[in-house]
Amino acid sequence: MEEFDIVVVGELNVDLILQDLASFPEMGKEKIARGMILTMGSASAILASNLARLGVRVGFAGKLGEDQFAEVVLATLRERGVDTGGIVHDTHSQTGITVALSFPEDYAMVTYMGSMEEYTLEDVPFDYVRRGRHMHLSSYYLQPGLRAGCAELFRRCKEAGLTTSFDPGWDPEEKWDQDIREVLQFVDVLLPNEQEAVHISGRQSTEDALAELGETCEVVVIKLGSRGAVCRVEDKIIRTGTYTVDPVDTTGAGDSFNAGFLFEWLRGSDIEQCLTTGIACGALATTKLGGSTASPTVGELQAFLAEHDQEDILIG
Tell me how far CA of residue 54 lies from CA of 63, 80, 94, 282, 302, in angstroms. 24, 10, 31, 14, 11
Piece in contact with Mg ion (CB under 5 A), picked from 10-18, 112-120, 185-193, 227-235: 185-193
**From candidates 59, 228, 252, 254, binder to Mg ion by CB under 5 A:** 254
Proportion of the chain in helix, strand, coil states, percent, rounded to 5: 35, 25, 35
The yes or no reply on residue 283 touching ligand ATP (CB under 6 A) is: yes
Q: Is 295 in the site for ligand ATP (CB under 6 A)?
A: no
- Per-residue x/- marks for ligand ATP, 221-260, CB under 6 A? --xxxx-xx------------xx-x-x--x-xxxx-x---
Residues 89, 218: Cα–Cα separation, whole Å: 35
* Terminal CA-CA length for the chain: 36
**Angle between helices 206-214 and 194-201 in degrees, nearest 10:** 60
Give the C-alpha separation, 12 to 18, whole Å: 20
Q: Which stretch binds Mg ion (CB under 5 A): 61-69, 191-199, 233-241, 289-297?
A: 191-199
| Cα distances (angstroms) measured from residue 275 to each of 11, 87, 164, 190, 305 | 26, 31, 17, 13, 13
Residue 10 engages Mg ion in binding (rule: CB under 5 A): no
**Site size with Mg ion, rule: CB under 5 A:** 2
Contacting ligand ATP (CB under 6 A), which of 70, 73, 129, 279? 279
Of ligand ATP, Mg ion, none, which one sits near residue 61, judging by CB under 5 to 8 A according to partner kind? none
In this structure, which amino acid lies at residue 64?
L
Give the span between the Cα atoms of 168 and 177, in whole angstroms: 12
Find the part of the chain contacting Mg ion (CB under 5 A) among 64-72, 84-92, 202-210, 252-260: 252-260
Closest CB to ligand ATP among 87 and 313?
Answer: 313
Adjacent-strand bridge partners of 214: none
> Rule CB under 6 A: which of 58-117 touch ligand ATP?
none
Would you give the binding string for ligand ATP spanning residues 186-225, x where CB under 6 A is met?
-------x-----------------------------xxx
Between residues 115 and 193, which has the closer beta carbon with respect to Mg ion? 193
- Closest to 118 in 3D by CA, of 83, 91, 157: 91
CA distances from 111 to 101, 103, 142, 212, 277 (A): 12, 17, 11, 33, 32
- The piece of 2-10, 70-78, 277-285, 294-302 that touches ligand ATP (CB under 6 A) is 277-285
- Distance from C-alpha of 109 to C-alpha of 142, rounded to nearest angstrom: 15
Under the rule (CB under 6 A), what is the footprint of ligand ATP?
Answer: 193, 223-226, 228-229, 242-243, 245, 247, 250, 252-255, 257, 279, 282-283, 286
Under the rule (CB under 5 A), what is the footprint of Mg ion?
Answer: 193, 254
